[in-house]
Amino acid sequence: MTPYDDVNAVLTLLSDGMTALLGKQLLGLYLTGSLTYGGFDPGSSDIDFLAVLSKVLSSEQLQAITAMHERIGKRVPRWAKRLEGSYITQEMIATKVRPGQARPYVNGGEIHHYRYGNEWTVNLYALQECGVALIGPEPSVMFPQVGIEDVRAASKHDLIDEWLPKLDDPEAFHRAGYDSDHLRAYAVLTMCRILHRAKHDGIASKRVASRWVKETYGKPWRILVEQAESWRHGETMATDQGVKDFIAFTAREIGMATN
């Protein structure tokens, strides 16, 4: 499935486990993220998946799915906290409109219930462009179609809703249960992709987007972007303020006021 034996082991355990637990309720399982559009780095990337179900998980099924993820983490410890994905229903993808209901979301080795934000549109676009069906029909058949202009609009809304509020939040990159250095590196690479997306069609990996930002804008962002590119779990990333300055720059560059 991928060039990485341990990743393949995780995906096999995931697909076999879901099939055994959910049967015909499982309509599709999709690989997405950097494993599908390039730029995957075993030292910093996650394994991203999306499961589509015919109906919501019962409380008993959710317990069984939670136990399945715990077993996968024990079998392949390296990925115990870096397997990230959602369990959504067919109803949620009837249209491209962002669903209002929460879905089980796996991240950091735990399952939460979150509503989608503006990433919904970006995720749909990535699936239709690069997603890989592990179980079920091809993404072009399963998911509604979105255009690049939808994605650009979602990116702007994401800046407004998610990122600009962090400029005045002293705890923006200090959340319980999360690695602050990881959050800062993720923020920088996300800004690179927003900047790249404003000028280009298609899906670009973080590596492609960050390289373009360095070539296009140079100083003063080159060092910050290089830190984010080379960051690995357990390492130190740039300061909060440096990252916030880059967020503000990104907003201004795509024509948004920051105050």
Quote the pLDDT of residue 257: 54
CA separation for the pair 48, 107 (Å, rounded): 10
Quote the pLDDT of residue 58: 97
Domains of the chain: 5-142 (3.30.460), 148-253 (no CATH)
Angle at 95 between CA 89 and CA 100, to 5 degrees: 60
Closest residue by Cα to residue 243 from 185, 194, 193: 185
CA separation for the pair 250, 191 (Å, rounded): 6
CA separation for the pair 225, 150 (Å, rounded): 26
**Total residue length of the chain:** 259
CA separation for the pair 139, 204 (Å, rounded): 18
For 43, the enclosing helix (H) or strand (E) is none
Q: What b/e string do you get for 197-208 counting C-beta neighbours within 10 Å, with b at 16 or more?
A: beeeeebbbbbb
CA separation for the pair 220, 218 (Å, rounded): 6
Quote the pLDDT of residue 37: 86
Residue 75 tokens read as 């079998």
**pLDDT per residue rounded down to tens, the chain (259 residues):** 799 999 999 999 999 999 999 999 999 999 999 999 887 888 888 999 999 999 999 999 999 999 999 999 999 999 999 999 999 999 999 999 999 999 999 998 999 999 999 899 999 999 999 999 999 999 999 999 999 999 999 999 999 999 999 999 999 999 887 889 999 999 999 999 999 999 999 888 888 999 999 999 998 899 999 999 988 878 899 899 999 999 999 999 988 655 5
